[in-house]
Chain A
Amino acid sequence: MATAIELRGLTRWYGKRRGVMDLDVTVQEGEVFGFLGPNGAGKTTTIRMLLGLIRPSAGSATIWGLDAWHDAPAVHRRLAHLGSDPGYLGEMSASRLLDHLGALRGLPAGAWRSLAERLDLDPGVAVRKLSRGNRQKVGVVQAFMGSEPLLVMDEPSTGLDPLMQREFLALVAEARAAGRTIFLSSHNLTEVERACDRVAIIREGRLVKVATVQALVGDHTRSINLLLDRPAPDGTFALDGLTVLSSTGQDVHLMVRGDVNPLLRRLAGLEVRDIAISTPDVEDLFFRYYDGSVAGSDGRVASEAAGASVEAAR
């Protein structure tokens, strides 16, 4: 499988202000890669370097082996881009705008039509008269209307209503099924969890985690609610990685990190009336990384066994 995107020590400073530092990421062809972080974490800076709009201060960004800055026109022939809050020309109608952008990408007029119908977008309306959500639909249509092998999207579903978000996720799934690679920056955790194969979490310009969504969710804390017939004997829950969050004797709320088998063996000796185990979603994990409980104080990346392409920061 070919490498679609490769960031090596990618760093960008804005004068003395931090942009991103030492990003090492490899995205494989056909992968949907989520780039997760709050506003100001460095997601847009990274995407601008990928697009060759700004130059790295150090390191490199390559797409299909081509340097994102020096070979930008060649790179752009193989990618479609959707920026966060794209600055479309308000006086143009959506149809004219999409035709123009399509023509720049070598697409025939009206290449957007089926997607516009699918997203319930009125193409005849001037862009400035569209709501935030409808403008975002224009962006989604623009990104998906071609067949470029790479899609780079910066917070693509912002402003979309839940129905359209679902449609967006369906489009991502279809693109993946067609073998296209997707680099998706977002702070919408649910979207990333549903859409992506792997996720990178970026904090204050540094990568703190790169892993598959399954690995992120699977290796982490489980929330367990127990309803017991009678209070458990003292020491029952004295296990490594287990925290008793609350207990009224019979009603116990636990958090377990890692292997759950030791706990299950203890529970086998109790009269359990009811048990509810829930896995944390990406949101829980995200906040955990932002609490600083996983990444070291130097912010170095925590890399998981999530495929050979996961790179730990130096």
Chain B
Amino acid sequence: MSMLTFRLELRRSRLVAFWLAVIVLAYGGTIAAMYPILKENSKLLEDYMEILPKELLAAFGMSGTLTDPGVFFSTYIGSFLWPVIAAMGAIVLATRPVAADVDRGWAEVVLGTPLTRTRSLVAAILGQAVVLGALALAAPAGVLAGGAIVGAGFDTVRLLATSVVFWLFACAIAGCTSFVGVVTLSRGTAAGLAAGVLLVMYLMNIVAELQADLAWLGDLGWFRYLAVTELIDAGVLPWASVAVFGVVAVAGWSASLVVFRRRDLLA
């Protein structure tokens, strides 16, 4: 790994990281500030939720009452904010070091030095992992900060532990996107394909919740594994999620490295 390249990757990522972190912190903080209001009006809220089909609520992560911290966090952050932020961050970061840099000519500049392709891409991958890790920490941090201000009483350790699952989910997206980017050498194609596949998996998860006989569809996508309700409510780390996302991330990045070493670099 090249520390120079790693530092440069972090430097190049700071704007993306900053603005995504601002969004995550602001949204998390604002939502958390509403939590005591939801709790105080739990009866009214539950009456309202009764009107809506349970499957529809489940499809968007609301399996239980919103006054439950785990359901609350899963609904607003785990099922909505984080998939969007993770996808944006991972796709932008993972398509840059090869697909975008070959296209702009930067890859030719740095790979014309003694820097090897492997060291270059490993540094970029570590940069992605660090930035995505910071964003994954920011997601519960915003909720914790907002919750602390209004006295929501969230469990700090359990909420922060969700970062592990969030981080690995984002890494899985980055790993696969990186691989597509190395194969196609086209940032547009890689980004479009990654976003498209994620959207399809998201819809598959919704359909699986709405339609009992199509429940198997949910198992094919990643969003079923992006479940942190139990972690927050019972303190149980979802090892299956950790394993699935971890394996996909490592496999994607490893495949990227293998292909990149042998790839013609033609914009």
Interface, chain A (partner B; CB < 8 A): 14, 48, 51-55, 72-73, 76-77, 79-81, 83, 85-89, 91, 100-101, 103-106, 152
Q: Are A55 and B264 in contact (CB under 8 A)?
A: yes
CB neighbours (8 Å) of B105 from chain A are 83, 85-88
Q: Are B114 and A81 in contact (CB under 8 A)?
A: no
Q: How many residues of B contact A (CB 8 A)?
A: 22
Q: Could you give 18 example pairs across A and B, Cβ below 8 Å? A: A14-B266, A51-B111, A53-B265, A55-B264, A72-B111, A76-B111, A76-B115, A81-B112, A83-B105, A83-B108, A85-B105, A86-B105, A87-B101, A87-B105, A101-B110, A101-B113, A104-B4, A152-B112
The residue that B109 contacts in the complex, of A52, A72, A83, A91, with Cβ under 8 A, is A83
Q: Are A54 and B4 in contact (CB under 8 A)?
A: no
Q: Is B12 an interface residue (CB 8 A)?
A: yes
A152 to B4, CA, bound (A): 24
Given known A-B contacts A87-B105, A87-B108, A76 and B265 have beta carbons under 8 A apart = no
CB neighbours (8 Å) of A80 from chain B are 112
CB neighbours (8 Å) of A104 from chain B are 2, 4-5, 110, 113-115
CB neighbours (8 Å) of B108 from chain A are 48, 51, 53, 83, 86-87
Q: Is B41 an interface residue (CB 8 A)?
A: no
Q: Are A76 and B104 in contact (CB under 8 A)?
A: no
Q: Are A89 and B4 in contact (CB under 8 A)?
A: no
Interface, chain B (partner A; CB < 8 A): 2, 4-5, 8, 12, 101, 104-116, 264-266
Which residue, B104, B110, B113, has most C-beta atoms of chain A within 10 A? Answer: B113
Q: Are A101 and B109 in contact (CB under 8 A)?
A: yes
Tell me the minimal C-beta distance from A52 to chain B in angstroms: 8
Given contacts A53-B112, A104-B2, 16 further A-B contacts (CB under 8 A): A48-B266, A52-B111, A53-B264, A54-B264, A72-B116, A73-B115, A76-B113, A76-B114, A77-B114, A81-B112, A81-B113, A87-B106, A88-B106, A88-B109, A101-B113, A104-B115
A172 to B110, CA, bound (A): 22
Q: Are B106 and A83 in contact (CB under 8 A)?
A: no
Tell me the minimal C-beta distance from B219 to chain A in angstroms: 40
Q: Are A89 and B106 in contact (CB under 8 A)?
A: yes
CB neighbours (8 Å) of B113 from chain A are 76, 81, 101, 104-105
Who on chain B is nearest to A85 by CB? B105
Q: Are A54 and B109 in contact (CB under 8 A)?
A: no
A87 to B96, CA, bound (A): 13
A105 to B106, CA, bound (A): 15
Q: Are B114 and A106 in contact (CB under 8 A)?
A: yes
Who on chain B is nearest to A105 by CB? B113
Who on chain B is nearest to A45 by CB? B266
CB neighbours (8 Å) of B8 from chain A are 100
CB neighbours (8 Å) of A103 from chain B are 4
Q: Are B265 and A105 in contact (CB under 8 A)?
A: no
CB neighbours (8 Å) of B106 from chain A are 87-89
CB neighbours (8 Å) of A86 from chain B are 105, 108-109
A106 to B265, CA, bound (A): 24
Who on chain A is nearest to B106 by CB? A87
The residue that A54 contacts in the complex, of B101, B104, B115, B266, with Cβ under 8 A, is B266
Who on chain B is nearest to A152 by CB? B112
Tell me the minimal C-beta distance from B249 to chain A in angstroms: 27
Tell me the minimal C-beta distance from B258 to chain A in angstroms: 16
A51 to B105, CA, bound (A): 14
CB neighbours (8 Å) of A77 from chain B are 114
Tell me the minimal C-beta distance from B263 to chain A in angstroms: 9
CB neighbours (8 Å) of A89 from chain B are 12, 106
